A and B are shown apart, each in its own frame.
Chain A
C-alpha cells in the first residue's frame, strides 16, 4: 500500500503493484490465453501424432512407389535417352541384365513383377522367370538373349512402363483409381473400357449414401416432428425407440440384420405372413420367396436403420426450438394447415435437416462393415475395395489412392458441414 501511495498522480489507473491497469490487464489476458493453449495442446499434439501423421503417411503411400526405381536403377538411367519409337538399344538390355541379376540376388524380383503387373497383366510370372534365367546370360548380345527368355521384353509397352515407373513418385495409382492412365508417351488418357471399374465404385458409393440419406430423411422427419410436438412424457417414452438403437453397437445391429435376412429367416417369414411376398409375386417382381441376403436392398435397409438416429436427432433438436406460435399465427392469417406447415414450419427446420443429412451422408460414405456383411460381394462400397486391396492383393498403393479419393470427398463435405452448421454446435444424443 505504501508503494501505491508513492506513485505520481498522473490520472492513469494503476494496479496494486503500480503498473498501469491497461498493461496489467493485457498481461493477465495473455497469461490466461497461454494457460488455455496449454490445456488444448496435449490433445492437439496427441491427435497430430496418432491420427494426422498416419493419414499423411497414407497420402504419401498413394504416390510413393520405389519398387521399380530402386531395383532397376541402371536400366532406368539407360532408358532416359530412349524415345519409345523402336525397341531400346543394346545398352539398355545390358543394364537390365545387370539389374536383374542384382535383384535376383536380393530377392526383389517378385516386387518388380508385382508392380509391373498392375499395368501389364500377366507379366508377373514372366518377370520372375526372367529373374531365374538371367544368371545364364554371360556375354553380349544381351538384347537377343533377354528377348529369347520371354518375348514380352521385345515389346515397346514393357519398356515404356518401366520408363514411366522410373521415379519413386508416381501418379499411377491415383490416375488408375479415376479410371485413367498415362499412355506410352506420358499423356493422361482414359483407361480402355474393360478396365474402367473404379468410377463405378465411386458412383455406387455416392449413390448408396445418397439413397440412405434420403430414406433416413423421409422416415426420420415425421418422427422428429411428432417427438418435438408431443407432451414431454410421451416424447421421452418414444425417444427410447430412437436412442436404444443409437446406443447399440453397429456390429450388433448389422449382425441382427444378417440373421434376420437369412434365406427363410425372420424377415422373409415376416414378408410372407404380412402378404408382401404374395403381392410381390402377384405383380411379378419376384418368383417365389424374395432373396434379401447379399443384396443392395439389404445394405440400404441395414444402413438406413443404423443412420436413422443420426439424421433424426439434429432435426429433432431444431424442431424443439420452434415456437408453436408461428403455426398458430399462420393459421389465424388464413393459411390451410398444409400450406402453413410447408411455408412456415418447414423452412425453420432446414438447419436441422442440413445438419442431419450431411452427417449421415458423410458417415455413409465410409461404411465398410455393413455392406461387407449384408451386401453383395460385387456390390461393395469404396471402403470395401480399400480393405480388399490390402487384404487380398497386398496393394498399398491402390488402397492409399482409393483412400485419398474417399478422404477428399469426406473433407469437402466436412468443410460444408462446418460452414453450414458449425462443428462446435454438433451435439450427441
Chain B
C-alpha cells in the first residue's frame, strides 16, 4: 500500500487522508455491532465498560426462558414458511418477466416490487384492517402471508439479476435435444439460477425474521416473534437478555452473509464473469 513514486505531495496527502477517513467510517459501521457483543457476557445488569465480571446468565435466559425460546421458535416457523412461499412465487414471476416483453411490463414490475418500497407502517395498518375482514388478523397464517408479500420483491430482484446474464439459447439447446420443458427447467435453468434463488431466499428469510411492525399489528399473544419480544422488551426496560439475543442474531446474519458471498462468487464463476 505504498504511495506510487510519481505522486505529487497533494496526491500523497489525499491518498492518506482518504484511507484514514474510510478507516474511520468502516470503524463507525462495525463498532456498534462489535461493542454490544461483550456486554452480553456481563454478570451485571448495566451497559458500560469495564465489566465487573463475566457470566452466561443472559444466554441461559435467552435459550431456556420460554418467553424467549418460544419467540425464537415462532420466528423460525414464520420465516421458513415465508421463505418457501416467497421463493416459489418470486422465482416463477422472475422467470416469466425475463421471457417476454409486453406493454405495461414496467408497471407490473413496479407493483411486484412496491411492498419493498411502501413504508411498512402503511402496509401494516392496511393489512390489519383487511385481514380482519378475512379473519386472518391474529393468526399465524396472516403473518406468513403478510411477510411473504414483503419478502417476494427481494426474490424477484435477485433472480431477475441472475437471469439478466442467462444465456437463453441454453433453453433452446435443451429443447432441441428432446427435453420436455420441465426437464429443461430442472436440468438446465435451475442449476444456473440457483445462486440467485438462494440469495433471494436468504433475503426473504431475513425480511421475515427481522420484521416487527406488521407483527405488532397482526400477532396474537401466542404468536410473539423474536423481534416483537425484543421490541416490547426494549420499550419497557432494557433487559440484558437483549444483548444475548442481539449477539445470536449477529452470528446468524454473519452466517447468511458468508453464504450469500460464496454463492455470488460461485455464480460469477459459473457465468464466466471475471473481475
Q: CB distance A48 to B111 under 8 Å?
A: yes
The distance in angstroms between the C-alpha atoms of A407 and B125, with both chains bound, is 12
> How many residues of B are counted as interface, with CB atoms below 8 angstroms from the partner's CB atoms?
94
Shortest Cβ gap from A410 to chain B (Å):
6
Contacts of B250 in A (CB 8 A): 244, 248, 252
Q: CB distance A428 to B93 under 8 Å?
A: no
Shortest Cβ gap from B96 to chain A (Å):
3
Q: CB distance B102 to A33 under 8 Å?
A: yes
Q: Does B184 contact A (CB under 8 A)?
A: no
Q: Which residues of B in the span 245-275 have a Cβ within 8 Å of any Cβ on A?
A: 245-246, 249-250, 253-254, 256-257, 260-261, 264, 275
Shortest Cβ gap from A323 to chain B (Å):
14
Q: CB distance A368 to B120 under 8 Å?
A: yes
Shortest Cβ gap from B228 to chain A (Å):
10
Contacts of A219 in B (CB 8 A): 25, 28
Contacts of B36 in A (CB 8 A): 252, 255-256, 259-260
Contacts of B227 in A (CB 8 A): 249, 251
Shortest Cβ gap from B262 to chain A (Å):
12
Q: CB distance B257 to A366 under 8 Å?
A: no
The total of Cβ contacts below 8 Å across the A-B interface reads 270
Q: CB distance B21 to A366 under 8 Å?
A: no
Q: Do A418 and B110 form a contact, CB below 8 Å, given A33-B100, A40-B96, A256-B35?
A: yes
Q: Does A5 contact B (CB under 8 A)?
A: no
**Segment from B60-68, B186-194, B209-217 that makes contact with A:** B209-217
Contacts of B71 in A (CB 8 A): none
Shortest Cβ gap from B275 to chain A (Å):
6
Contacts of A54 in B (CB 8 A): 123, 126-131
Q: CB distance A400 to B111 under 8 Å?
A: no
A21-61 vs B, CB cutoff 8 Å, 1 = contact: the mask equals: 00000000000110111111111101110111111111001
Residue of B118, B121, B231 near A251 (CB, 8 A) is B231
Q: Does A74 contact B (CB under 8 A)?
A: no
Q: CB distance B121 to A373 under 8 Å?
A: no
Q: Do A39 and B95 form a contact, CB below 8 Å, given A58-B129, A242-B29?
A: yes
Q: Does A285 contact B (CB under 8 A)?
A: no
Q: Does A210 contact B (CB under 8 A)?
A: no
Q: Does B74 contact A (CB under 8 A)?
A: no
Q: Do A264 and B230 form a contact, CB below 8 Å, given A36-B99, A36-B100, A249-B253?
A: no
**Segment from A157-165, A182-190, A220-228 that makes contact with B:** A220-228
Q: CB distance A427 to B157 under 8 Å?
A: yes
Q: Do A428 and B203 form a contact, CB below 8 Å, given A33-B100, A54-B123?
A: yes
Residue of A223, A251, A266 near B49 (CB, 8 A) is A266
Q: CB distance B48 to A269 under 8 Å?
A: yes
Residue of B95, B145, B160, B213 near A369 (CB, 8 A) is B213
The distance in angstroms between the C-alpha atoms of A309 and B33, with both chains bound, is 15
Contacts of A258 in B (CB 8 A): 234, 238
Using CB atoms, name the residue of chain A closest to B265.
Answer: A236
Residue of B90, B125, B148 near A58 (CB, 8 A) is B125
A313-338 vs B, CB cutoff 8 Å, 1 = contact: the mask equals: 00000000000000000000000011
B215-239 vs A, CB cutoff 8 Å, 1 = contact: the mask equals: 0000000000001001100110010
Shortest Cβ gap from B261 to chain A (Å):
7
A176-209 vs B, CB cutoff 8 Å, 1 = contact: the mask equals: 0000000000000000000000000000000000
Q: Which residues of B in the span 142-169 have a Cβ within 8 Å of any Cβ on A?
A: 145-146, 148-150, 152, 154, 156-158, 160-161
Q: Which residues of B in the span 49-102 have a Cβ within 8 Å of any Cβ on A?
A: 49, 89-90, 92-93, 95-97, 99-100, 102
The distance in angstroms between the C-alpha atoms of A13 and B184, with both chains bound, is 29
Contacts of A53 in B (CB 8 A): 126, 130
Q: CB distance A424 to B160 under 8 Å?
A: yes
Residue of B25, B33, B131, B234 near A223 (CB, 8 A) is B25
Q: Which residues of A in the span 212-261 have a Cβ within 8 Å of any Cβ on B?
A: 219-220, 222-223, 225-226, 232, 234, 238, 240-253, 255-260
Q: Do A368 and B25 form a contact, CB below 8 Å, given A266-B48, A410-B117?
A: no
Shortest Cβ gap from B115 to chain A (Å):
5
Q: CB distance A259 to B47 under 8 Å?
A: yes
Q: CB distance B160 to A386 under 8 Å?
A: no
Q: Does B113 contact A (CB under 8 A)?
A: yes
Using CB atoms, name the residue of chain B closest to A424.
Answer: B109
Using CB atoms, name the residue of chain A closest to B133.
Answer: A57
Shortest Cβ gap from B2 to chain A (Å):
13
A354-366 vs B, CB cutoff 8 Å, 1 = contact: the mask equals: 0000000010011
Contacts of A38 in B (CB 8 A): 96
Q: CB distance B26 to A242 under 8 Å?
A: yes
Contacts of B111 in A (CB 8 A): 44, 47-48, 52
Q: CB distance A262 to B48 under 8 Å?
A: yes
Contacts of B256 in A (CB 8 A): 247
Q: Does B122 contact A (CB under 8 A)?
A: yes
Shortest Cβ gap from B140 to chain A (Å):
15
The distance in angstroms between the C-alpha atoms of A259 and B40, with both chains bound, is 11
Q: CB distance A426 to B93 under 8 Å?
A: no
Contacts of B35 in A (CB 8 A): 256, 260, 266
Q: Does A122 contact B (CB under 8 A)?
A: no
Q: CB distance B92 to A57 under 8 Å?
A: no
Extra 17 A-B pairs, beta carbons < 8 Å, given A241-B29, A390-B125: A37-B102, A39-B95, A43-B156, A47-B112, A50-B145, A50-B148, A57-B129, A222-B22, A222-B25, A242-B26, A244-B253, A245-B33, A248-B249, A259-B47, A260-B35, A406-B119, A428-B157
- A-B interface, 6 closest residue pairs, ranked by CB to CB distance from nearest: A366-B119, A39-B96, A54-B126, A58-B126, A43-B93, A40-B96
- List 14 A–B pairs whose Cβ atoms lie within 8 Å, in order of A's numbering: A36-B97, A50-B145, A54-B128, A54-B130, A249-B246, A252-B253, A255-B36, A260-B35, A266-B47, A308-B25, A366-B119, A368-B121, A407-B118, A428-B157
